[in-house]
Amino acid sequence: MASTLQALESWVNETAARTRPARIHWCDGSDAEYAALVQQMLASGDLIELNQETHPGCYLHRSNPSDVARVEHLTFVCPPNREDAGPNNHWMDPAEAHAKMDALFDGCMEGRTMYVVPYCMGPIDSPLSRCGVEITDSPYVVANMRTMTRMGAAAQSRIEREGSFVKGLHSTGELDPDRRFIMHFPEELSIQSYGSGYGGNALLGKKCHALRIASHQARREGWLAEHMLIVGIENPAGETHYIAAAFPSACGKTNLAMLIPPEGYRREGWKVWTVGDDICWMRPGEDGRLYAINPEAGFFGVAPGTSANSNPNALASIARDTIFTNVAVTADNQPWWEGLPGEPSVDWQGRPYDPANGPAAHPNARFTVSAKQCPTWSEKAEDAQGVPISAIVFGGRRPSLLPLVMQARDWTHGVLMGAAMGSETTAAATGAVGVLRRDSMAMKPFCGYHYGDYFAHWLSLDRPTAKLPAIFHVNWFRKGEDGRFLWPGFGDNLRVLEWMIERVAGRAEGRETPVGVVPSPGELRSEGLDLSRQSLEALLAIDEDGWRQEMEAIGGYLREFAPRLPEALMREQARIAAALAQTPEAPRRSVASA
């Protein structure tokens, strides 16, 4: 018996009988096991050794060209009642889903090794952590799970002590896009994924467990599982405030998590600490505050766009002991993607580089690396109790209307801010330009149940004994009439975080508006910035007429989740709409003249 827990042993045996592997390997997470997996994949061609002088311990994996991203249209949430999945999820009847997956898994591991991967999401001794076991036939998945989770013997011991775990079954199958499904069974705490070897579809501890299943667990148990970074901001007085922030894709989550302060701030002694770049689990503590852990142990980051200019800390993190997926390589076998110096020799599909074939690296090329390799990694990431959250930040890519920063008046207003957040499409994306796509709390692809119930769960945390974080909304992407971004972004975003901290500490007054509190003149530090007074005013301007239309649109969006939408959110929407209605009508001002 490979496990002392009968439920685990029985499930492994049942799965082996269905999938019929040639052998079974129980993973212990050791260095020796990892080294053996790497050698096996080098021999099979699943991994390619990169330049070990410039990138020691680094390897390249090329996935099937049809298998390079999450497949949301093939991702299902399967509670017995369709309504419980909500309009924000694809649903399949659990009996139908099980029948479909049983047929796919039948004999799918013949001739392969079945790996049993026990893992812990979060510090191994944290009461906030949750465990799972992934069964897979992919050594690439095993190697990545070792980096992304606390995987191996210690996790198995915790599972055997607690007696509960999330069951994840995965097979690459034939990598046939027509035979590819990712099913979630929240009531069973189980996940089944077939036909993909790509990260988010195959590393079941990541989005599948840490968000879709964990959001269900969190609602049942009274905590939050969120698509958020966690960053610590230490001021010159030695005070550290931890901030959790949710942004949709392409809005700079990883860059903010690894932010480098502007030179003047560095001289003063400001420091930034990275706790997590993607997922945040928050639970009320005994003192009423929310405490957060990063359930992941590594970064599964997008490589293209990562450079010495955009994120030098990420670039430093991946200089060694990293698995790269679908990047290009240079003539001397170094990993390469658009944004790096030098030239590619071979593209992500292994072909001699030809610009006519498109980008050298796939736009969704990835790196998998231990979080501890980040120069700004915080030891608090291993704190069993988590870190206390001072502020929660929502944000999106909005070229107009949304100010650089605003604070919610209270928790309900903040939940409305999160529910309404979204991004507008740009010319860089296919389809119409300027179309607003709402992505509540950046959780639209990841919330494991009905959004209306999810909003209600957020609201339920506001109890008399709670000392909840302040909630803010940011927009780094507001543009001037010339189409250029008004705010420099990157390290200068610390100036906005500083104002948030001052608000939390009661040292900044702010300016009340119908839609939230914005910085008063002079409160946002601008020394050293190449930013005119007019541009700063434009960044913080509130266009009441535009906001009247926005609140009407928000109301229409929220009603999509009726009848489960909490009345409190619609009352809050109505309160702001009424406040805006009392402001004088004014012609809409241009950004340049605002």
CATH number assigned to the domain comprising residue 323: 2.170.8.10
406 & 513 share domain: yes
29 belongs to an annotated ligand binding site: no
Domain at 502, CATH number? 3.90.228.20
- Please indicate, yes or no, if residue 58 is contained in any of the structural domains: no
Q: Is 105 annotated as a binding residue?
A: no
d(CA 252, CA 306): 11
Residues 208 and 75 both lie in one domain: yes
Long-range contact pairs involving 572-580 (C-beta distance under 8 Å, separation at least 24):
572/412, 572/413, 572/415, 572/416, 573/416, 576/413, 576/416, 576/514, 576/515, 576/551, 577/548, 577/551, 577/552, 579/514, 580/514, 580/515, 580/544, 580/547, 580/548, 580/551
CA atoms within 13 A on the CB side of 118: 26
Q: Confirm if 543 and 590 have CB atoms less than 8 A apart.
A: no
Q: What is the reported pLDDT for 161?
A: 97
Residue 256 CA to residue 493 CA, distance in Å, equals: 8
Are 240 and 132 found together in one domain? no
Do 399 and 362 lie in one domain? The reply is no
Q: Binding residue per annotation — 492?
A: yes
Cβ atoms of residues 211 and 225 within 8 Å: yes
Q: Say what the alpha-carbon torsion angle 555, 560, 563, 565 is, to the nearest 10 degrees.
A: -50
Does residue 593 lie in a domain region? no
- pLDDT of 86 reads 98
Q: Is the dihedral of CA 224, 443, 69, 303 positive or negative?
A: negative
Q: Which of 322, 321, 353 is nearest to 337 (CA)?
A: 353
* Residues annotated as part of the active site: 251
Smallest CA-to-CA distance from 154 within 118, 122, 187 is with 118
- Examine the fold and report which residue of 180, 197, 222 is the final residue of a domain before the chain moves on: 222
When divided into structural domains, the chain yields a total of: 3
Residue 33: other Cβ atoms inside 10 A: 18
Task: Please check if 227 is assigned to a binding site.
Answer: yes
199 is in an annotated binding site: yes
Q: What is the dihedral of CA 100, 102, 103, 107, to 10 degrees?
A: 150
Distance CA 408, CA 512 (A): 10
> Residue 437: which H helix or E strand, with range?
strand 436-438
**Element (DSSP H or E) covering residue 555:** helix 544-558
Retrieve residue 273's tokens: 């600490």
Do residues 365 and 275 share a domain? no
d(CA 181, CA 208): 12
Is 55 within the bounds of a domain?
no
Contact criterion met (CB below 8 Å) for 149 and 205: yes
**Residue from 254, 202, 215, 220 nearest 75 by CA:** 202
Domain boundary among 222, 251, 274: 222
**Same domain for 514 and 412:** yes
Q: What is the pLDDT of residue 61?
A: 98
Q: In whole angstroms, give the CA distance from residue 468 to residue 459.
A: 11
- Any known ligand binding at 208? no
For residue 432, the model assigns a pLDDT of 63
Question: Is residue 283 annotated as involved in ligand binding?
Answer: no
Q: 1 in a domain, yes or no?
A: no
Last residue of a domain, one of 373, 406, 434: 373
On whether residue 53 sits in a domain, the answer given is no
**589 assigned to some structural domain:** no
The answer to whether 572 and 416 are in contact (CB under 8 A) is yes
Q: Which domain holds residue 124?
A: 6-47+67-222
Give which of 143, 95, 93 is closest to 115, Cα–Cα.
Answer: 143
Q: Would you state the pLDDT for residue 425?
A: 66
In eight-state DSSP terms, residue 469 is: P
Could you tell me if 148 and 205 lie in one domain? yes
Amino acid at 570: M
Shared domain for 106 and 189, answered yes or no, is yes
In a domain, residue 276? The reply is yes
Q: What does the pLDDT read at residue 585?
A: 64
Give pLDDT tens digits along the chain (594 positions).
588 899 999 999 999 999 999 999 999 999 999 999 999 999 999 999 999 999 999 999 999 999 998 888 999 999 999 999 999 999 999 999 999 999 999 999 999 999 999 999 999 999 999 999 999 999 999 999 999 999 999 999 999 999 999 999 999 999 999 999 999 999 999 999 999 999 889 999 999 999 999 999 999 999 999 999 999 999 999 999 999 999 987 788 999 999 999 999 999 999 999 999 999 999 999 999 999 999 999 999 999 999 998 999 999 999 999 999 999 999 999 999 999 999 999 999 999 999 999 999 999 999 999 999 999 999 999 999 999 999 999 999 999 999 999 999 999 999 999 999 998 865 444 456 568 899 999 999 999 999 999 999 999 999 999 999 999 999 999 999 999 999 999 999 999 999 999 999 999 999 999 999 999 999 999 999 999 999 999 999 999 999 999 999 999 999 999 999 999 999 999 999 999 999 876 444 433 333
Answer yes or no: do 216 and 243 share one domain.
no
Q: Would you say 365 is a known binding-site residue?
A: yes
Q: Is residue 56 one of the residues assigned to a domain?
A: no
Residue 3: partners with Cβ closer than 8 Å, 6 or more residues away: 9, 12, 26, 156, 160
> What CATH number does the domain containing 171 carry?
3.40.449.10
Output DSSP code: residue 152. S
The helix (run of H) or strand (run of E) holding residue 119 is strand 113-121
Q: Strand 224-226 and strand 181-185: pairing? A: unpaired
Report DSSP state, residue 593.
Answer: T
User: Do 277 and 389 have their domain in common?
Assistant: yes
548 is in an annotated binding site: no
Was 150 annotated as part of a binding site? no
**Cα–Cα distance between 317 and 323 in angstroms, integer?**
12
Predicted local confidence at residue 433, as pLDDT: 57
Residues 354 and 392 in one domain: no
For residues 425 and 323, state if they share a domain. no
Contacts of 22 (CB under 8 A, 6+ apart): 109, 110, 111, 112, 113
Known binding residue 522? Answer is no
